Chains A and B, each alone.
Chain A
Amino acid sequence: MLRSVPYAWRQLSQDRLKLFAAVLGIAFAVVLVFMQLGLRAALFDSSVRLHRGVDYQLVLLNPRTNFLARTVPFPRSRLYQVASHSAVVDVAPLYLKLASYYYDDGANEHETALVIAIDPTQKNLRMPGVEPYLESLRNPDTVIIDRYSRKEFATSVDAVLAGEPVELQLQERHVNVIGAFGLGTSFGVDGSFITSDLNFRRIFPQRPAGNIDLGLIRLRPGSDVASVQKDIRALIPGDVEALTRQEYVAKEIAYWNSSTPIGYIFSLGAVIGVIVGLIVVYQILFSDVQSHLAEYATLKAIGYSDGFLRSLVLREAICLAVLGFIPAFGFALLLYDQAANATQLPMHMTAFRASLVLVVTIGMCALSGLLAMRKISRLDPAEVF
């Protein structure tokens, strides 16, 4: 009893140099897909960090708000209107605005930072790393800095973490950085500060005092969120919308995905990666089929079916897919690490993405194989004689 001849692998590995080039080509395409998908996911994940990092079940916001760093304020009274609902435990306003950030003792360089303001008397926000500073933030001109801000903020972050006093300028206002919290950057935000609502008004004196950007609503445990949302919508006029946490996250992602070119570019990049892979694998398999036509005709003549020959090409395609995927996966991990360090974006490999790209790679190679094997069906075994 003998094992089946590993025809596909033998055929592929016959010319090692050609195989190496093929694997390299596929790996390149797969890395491209990984990077595009990684960046796309980072875009979405980073844009909803705050959405996911704070404790609430419903949120009020102006319907004209596009995304976190470009909110349209609405009257704070709307938030207190909903506080009367029996299912609501408490409400908390959030103030958001981009500010110019000057560092190195007022040198000319500046970056744009997101200033998030909270009511420091609210102890239920559960924003990571914020609670220890709630009391101190009541002091005038005090802020805490996001330790995961981009490297342009590193001077301030490093000094704060080293326990040194840090003073910097937000807009026209000098503030003291009294600590650090952890949120992370996004494509729209390079770094963040949290301060109190009163300090916020000091930094942005022109901003109307009665306006807020987000209204966070916490419900009693066991409340029917959809039903409360419906009640709240009925309670407030149409100048404010009430969204669940999932809806708010989806709205932000939809903005980045559909309303900005960035999401489209990353999606297109992934598609281009697949197309590059398709072309590479098709070229390889087509030339392979072409150079083995006489051999295939012989196999057909001696009793092998078209199905066998098709499966042969498909097996070659799958071998190429797996061989290309393995180094590409390793290289993508390295690149993710590099990119995450450089940008502080959440670039991390997920099991789902790895599986998805493996399936896409196999599909891409299989499709190339299907295209390349069209010639096999037209092979006339009688031509062998």
Chain B
Amino acid sequence: MDESAKLVEVSSLSFAHEQGGQAQQILHNVSLHISAGEVTVLTGPSGSGKSTLLTIVGGLRSAFEGSVNVLGTELIGAPSATLVKTRRRIGFVFQQHNLSDALTVAQNIQMGLQHSGGHRRPDAAERITDIATQLGLRDHLKKYPDQLSGGQQQRAGIARALVGRPQLVLADEPTASLDKRTSESVMALFDELASRGGAVVLVTHDKRILDQADRVLSLEDGKVVPTADVMIEDAGKVLGKLMSSEPARLRRLLGYAHGLAQVAVADGKVVAEERAVIRQSLLDRGVLQPREVDLVMELALAQADAIGTDFLGSEDRNQLAAALRDVAEADERVVEAELRTIEKLLS
């Protein structure tokens, strides 16, 4: 399959939910696509419309405005039989795995095949054993869900979703109840599925997964927003909270970061070896905790990468100059040193 093939293409999708006789707009003019080979994370605050979007893409809910093309099938206005057929081609992982307590783990996994007659394939049993082995459930196939831990149940739910080897997986918080190691194995399975030309869309707040995603899509108030906007806002909020709760500690860390940034760029570049040495040196002195070292390094290297104004366009430079002059005039006294610094920054 063409890696760049779009398995999901959403255009101008709007969706309103009727509540108490009033229509509540959940999604506004959403457009996005998911390509084969991608693991995409869908983030956003609670109520932002992520789950609604996932249910529409999964054919679980009908929308009437815009276009939603999933695995080559247009879902807007599609009859319910088409939605059911499309759902059979998608692997769903639910936060509440909802396994049947009356069935063994193996039978629960088989239910992921049976809807499309997949259990009659010659390799059906092998598929079940394989996926169970990959998820560490090999020894639990004959057990019933109530004999499993929460994490094992979640893995059984994931196995049910993946046993049919779907092209598209839609997962809602798939690693919420899993430990780090199991999360990694689940993500490895998702990666493998993507590498075979499939795609995975995850709704998650698990930061461990965010790092492993090929793409992060953010939703806010039913709209897709640039991920950087979200991150900048989050970073600003985090720094603001840190300053208000522990100002002395933040200033101390910023002092370290500023100093490091100045020195690091003195020779015009920061190489990987230099980063490792700086990090180790800070850790060896024992004055900062490892997590503080991480923050100092991020702040320092972000500044080091950005120090200088070469990356600014002429309009940005003019705007920055004006802003800096406003800063200098803020105390109603502009001194020579301030003007020299501004000139130096803009040169």
Contact = CB atoms under 8 A, between A and B. Distances in A.
Interface stretch (B87-95, B191-199, B309-317): B87-95
A116 to B, nearest CB: 64
A350 interface: no
Contacts of A381: 60, 87
Contacts of A7: 100, 102-103, 111
A294 B114 contact: no
Contacts of B85: 303
Interface string B94-134: 11111111110001001111111001111011001000000
A382 to B, nearest CB: 4
Contacts of B54: 385
Contacts of A295: 98-100
B257 interface: no
Interface centre among B58, B92, B102, B103, by most chain A C-beta atoms within 10 angstroms, is B102
Nearest to B173: A385
A174 to B, nearest CB: 75
B38 interface: no
Nearest to A302: B92
A382 B103 CA distance: 23
Interface string A156-179: 000000000000000000000000
A127 interface: no
Contacts of A380: 61
| Interface size band for A | 20 to 34
A14 B103 CA distance: 9
A25 B97 CA distance: 34
A4 interface: yes
A358 interface: no
Nearest to A10: B102
Nearest to A5: B107
Contact of A302 (B120, B161, B172): B161
B100 A11 contact: yes
Contacts of B94: 298, 301, 384-385
Contacts of A298: 94, 97-98
Given A10-B103, A11-B100, A303-B116, A1 B92 contact: no
B122 A302 contact: no
B55 interface: yes
B51 interface: yes
Nearest to A11: B102
A3 B116 CA distance: 13
A14 B146 CA distance: 12
A124 interface: no
B100 A1 contact: no
A308 interface: yes
B84 interface: yes
A78 to B, nearest CB: 74
B60 A294 contact: no
A297 interface: yes
A5 B114 contact: yes
A299 B112 CA distance: 9
B223 interface: no
A302 B102 contact: no
A302 B107 CA distance: 15
B110 A2 contact: yes
A297 B96 CA distance: 11
A305 interface: yes
A2 B112 contact: no
Given A303-B116, A308-B115, A1 B124 contact: yes
Interface string A370-385: 0000000000111011
Contacts of A1: 119-122, 124-125
Nearest to A297: B98
Given A385-B51, A385-B55, A303 B115 contact: yes
B155 interface: no
A32 B195 CA distance: 65
Contacts of A297: 98
A302 B113 CA distance: 10
A187 interface: no
A49 B38 CA distance: 85
A304 interface: yes
A112 B255 CA distance: 119
B101 A294 contact: no
Contacts of A303: 84-85, 87-90, 115-116
A299 B88 CA distance: 10
B13 to A, nearest CB: 15
Contacts of A304: 84, 115
Contacts of A385: 51, 54-55, 58, 60, 94-95, 172
Interface string B155-174: 00000110000000000100
B124 A382 contact: no
Given A298-B98, A384-B96, A5 B111 contact: yes
Contacts of A294: 96, 98
A139 B114 CA distance: 84
Interface centre among B60, B87, B88, by most chain A C-beta atoms within 10 angstroms, is B60
Contacts of B100: 7, 10-11, 292, 295
A297 B128 CA distance: 23
A302 B112 CA distance: 7
A194 to B, nearest CB: 65
A50 B112 CA distance: 67
Contacts of A13: 102
A372 to B, nearest CB: 17
A22 to B, nearest CB: 15
Nearest to A8: B102
A302 B111 contact: yes
Contacts of B113: 2
Contacts of B122: 1
A297 B161 CA distance: 15
A382 B102 contact: no
A297 to B, nearest CB: 7
A17 to B, nearest CB: 15
Interchain residue pairs A-B with the least CB separation, the first 5: A303-B88, A298-B98, A14-B102, A382-B55, A10-B102
